[in-house]
């Protein structure tokens, strides 16, 4: 399997996390929130959903050779449940957990997944409303889960979310409300309106007093990690590069592999857009920091200015490096994957980790800083396909 080129433009800005050097064990407090054991429970449930299939793990031989890296593995989420994103796992799983608890309170006993899927509770659920704010993919998952199980869904989007992504959520019968502000302002508006109108927030970001649902979202994500471990067939990566918005996915990946591989865990590199680097700024400050402003980035799914609190509980000591990626790397990396053999469809937020790895490997100083060499085995997660088909065509083919 080859790629046309692995030479990418772009720049990186580094912050190495000294807290990660202590190599703390993954203790009971973190296991209570996210662990391999809880991930197995999520896999058991999600694997019963209609059209569940294990997604591909590609070995990018050509890219690895041209970047002078031992191996690059790319987990391809572009086909997940037809929603074209790993987010299909998290939002819908959190909806499932919420509805099981809700029905348990009504009926005195929680239904099984088979009972939920059978539709026998749709009458009891028809007036239940779940809601969230989203850049697109999480909202689509929540809307899909709501439709699958028979409740209502209201989604909040910010000014920069494309009409294509809005239409994708509306296709699952969600009511979509667009606000004038940025992502973080849409999160606040969704929470205010939910309190006023009696809706239940299914968010992928946590804040003070709101942790259970985002933890369930993160547990849903671990399904792709358990799949990847099986596909790696005993290989333990030396590095994991993972893109981040509020940090939920990054924390899920970091925590899962930290729990699974302990002292053998890979070097964990978190990648953010330059204009939305709330995790990097928090790491530099040693405390949670908010990035203000428009958060203007092509990587729309990563345009977040406030860190999820439960994500920070893991990443604060589990992530080795926090780096930012410049915008000019995105489209070339998407094109390189499209020209790969086999061709891989990757959306603009899917390629940040891969692009950072390749750019870092190309630059002698950055290569040394990241500890990349000819023996390195890198895992990246291709988190989405063309979730905005029109934008994908424009960026990859110029049409």
* Placement of tokens 């009409």 in the chain: 163
- Residue 1, pLDDT score: 38
Q: Which of 76, 87, 184, 316 is catalytic?
A: 87
Q: What is the pLDDT of residues 67-82, one digit of tens each?
A: 999 999 999 999 999 9
Give the torsion sign (CA, 208, 210, 212, 217).
negative
Q: Token pair for residue 399?
A: 């049409």
Cα gap 365→372, rounded to integer Å: 10
Q: What is the per-residue burial (b if ≥16 Cβ within 10 Å, else e) of 230-244? A: ebeeeeebbbbbbbb
Closest CA relative to residue 200, chosen from 303, 88, 125, 304: 125
Q: Would you give the DSSP letter of residue 2?
A: -
Give residues with Cβ within 8 angstroms of 196, minimum separation 6: none
Q: Which of 38, 84, 135, 321 is catalytic?
A: 135
Residue 96 has pLDDT above 70, yes or no: yes
Q: Would you give the DSSP letter of residue 56?
A: P
pLDDT band at 40 (very low <50, low <70, confident <90, very high): very high
Query: Given the DSSP bridges, would you call strands 239-243 and 152-157 parallel, antiparallel or unpaired?
Result: unpaired
- Residue 135, pLDDT score: 85
Cα gap 361→137, rounded to integer Å: 30
Q: What is the pLDDT of residues 358-381, one digit of tens each?
A: 999 999 999 999 999 999 999 999
Active site residue 127: no
Domains belonging to the chain, first-starting first, are 12-85+214-397 (3.40.50.1100), 87-212 (3.40.50.1100)
Q: What is the pLDDT of residues 250-303, one digit of tens each?
A: 999 999 999 999 999 999 999 999 999 999 999 999 999 999 988 899 998 899
Active site residue 180: no
Supply the pTM of this predicted model: 0.93
pLDDT band at 6 (very low <50, low <70, confident <90, very high): low
């Amino acid at each position: 399997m080859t790629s046309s080129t692995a030479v990418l433009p772009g720049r990186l800005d580094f912050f190495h996390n000294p807290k990660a050097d202590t190599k703390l064990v993954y203790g009971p407090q973190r296991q209570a929130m996210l662990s391999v054991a809880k991930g197995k429970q999520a896999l058991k449930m999600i694997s019963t959903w209609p059209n569940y299939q294990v997604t591909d793990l590609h070995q990018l031989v050509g890219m690895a050779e041209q970047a002078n890296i031992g191996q690059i593995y790319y987990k391809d989420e572009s086909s997940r449940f037809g929603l074209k994103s790993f987010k299909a796992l998290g939002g819908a799983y959190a909806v499932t957990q919420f509805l099981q608890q809700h029905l348990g309170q009504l009926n005195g006993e929680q239904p099984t997944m088979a009972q939920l899927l059978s539709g026998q509770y749709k009458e009891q659920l028809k007036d239940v409303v779940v809601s969230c704010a989203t850049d697109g993919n999480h909202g689509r998952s929540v809307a899909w889960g709501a439709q699958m199980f028979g409740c209502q869904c209201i989604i909040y989007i910010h000014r920069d979310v494309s009409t294509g992504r809005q239409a994708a959520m509306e296709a699952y019968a969600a009511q979509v409300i667009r606000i004038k502000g940025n992502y973080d302002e849409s999160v606040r508006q969704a929470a205010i309106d939910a309190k006023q109108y009696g809706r239940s927030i299914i968010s992928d970001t946590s804040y003070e007093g709101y942790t259970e649902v985002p933890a369930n979202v993160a547990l849903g994500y671990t399904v792709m990690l358990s799949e990847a471990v099986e596909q790696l067939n005993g290989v333990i990566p030396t590095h994991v590069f993972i893109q981040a918005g509020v940090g939920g996915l990054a924390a899920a990946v970091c925590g899962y592999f930290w729990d699974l591989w302990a002292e053998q865990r890979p070097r964990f590199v978190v990648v953010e857009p330059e204009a939305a680097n709330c995790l990097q700024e928090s790491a530099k400050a040693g405390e949670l920091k908010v990035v203000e402003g428009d958060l203007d980035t092509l990587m729309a799914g990563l345009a977040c200015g406030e860190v999820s609190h439960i994500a920070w509980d893991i990443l604060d000591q589990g992530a080795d490096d926090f780096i930012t990626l410049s915008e000019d790397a995105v489209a070339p990396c998407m094109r390189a994957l499209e020209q790969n053999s086999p061709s891989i469809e990757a959306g603009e937020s899917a390629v940040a980790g891969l692009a950072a790895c390749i750019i870092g490997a190309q630059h002698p100083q950055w290569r040394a800083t990241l500890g990349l060499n000819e023996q390195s085995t890198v895992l990246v997660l291709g988190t989405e396909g063309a979730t905005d088909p029109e934008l994908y065509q424009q960026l990859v083919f110029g049409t």
